[in-house]
Amino acid sequence: YEEGVFTLSFVFPDNYPFKCPDVKFVTPMYHPNIKKETGEICMDVFASSWSPTQKVQDILEKLVSLIKSPTTDSPLESEICQEYLKNPKQFEKKVKEFIKNHK
């Protein structure tokens, strides 16, 4: 994901900061925890540990961490997760192709 440029969508609910914003990738992603078609992110990343004191910067830091280290116990894209676990070189190749095709 190193050379990629990614656009995110943040939708803040009326009861923000008591409820976390809805965050999605606008840029298509090839990642076990991000839906390719919708950009939906595995919400366990935000909702389970959300507190009203968190800021957008905290969300961005969690996203960077998720991108670097996918969570394989609750993937949104199971085929991509299996590839990540069983064939990391192929996974990395597809990530690079995806980034190249979605700049």
Query: 20 catalytic, yes or no?
Result: no
Beta strand spans in 18-98 (E)? 22-25
Beta strand spans in 1-103 (E)? 8-11, 22-25
20, 23, 41, 42: the catalytic one is: 42
How many of the other CB atoms lie within 10 Å of CB of 54?
16
The set of catalytic residues is 42
